[in-house]
Structure 1
Amino acid sequence: VGMPHPKWDERPIVAVVLRQGAQLTRDELLAFYQGKTAKWQVPDDVVFLDAIPIGATGKMLKARLREQLADYRLPGL
């Protein structure tokens, strides 16, 4: 999901819901992207959520997710 950024207009973050009993850190997830995608495409942060809003067709509702994250700020800003 793109979040507002003062220099680049938007930067990506990853919204994650962990499976029950699963453990994963922000750093582990961001390290997964290293070498698999261009450096500028690597998300700036990871947000762990209890649930991601899903519509009737099974698709993620990005607008509702952005509402959920309205108070979120990228690290270092």
Structure 2
Amino acid sequence: MLQCLYYPPYHSKYNPIERCWGILELKWNGTKLTDAETMLEWAKSMSWKGLHPVVELSRQVYEKGIRLGKAAMEAIEA
């Protein structure tokens, strides 16, 4: 018997940010993250398959309700 399981296209399994957070949560489990600098250093030190992420603090405030068109999203996702 073969049973198939389908995930919806928006499922966290397919979202690279969600996968990154999962790895990061395992790494800093139990650590006191008291300030932004500590969090950034922990995030910079994590690795996956020998690769380290590019981490930088953004203090930009984004407007609410702004949506990107399909072409703009495809460019970002590429």
Which TM-score band applies after superposition, normalised by the shorter structure?
Answer: under 0.3
The answer to which structure has the higher strand fraction is: 1
For normalisation by structure 1, the TM-score amounts to 0.24
* Higher RCO (Cα < 8 Å, 6 or more apart): 1
Task: Tell which structure's C-alpha radius of gyration is larger.
Answer: 2
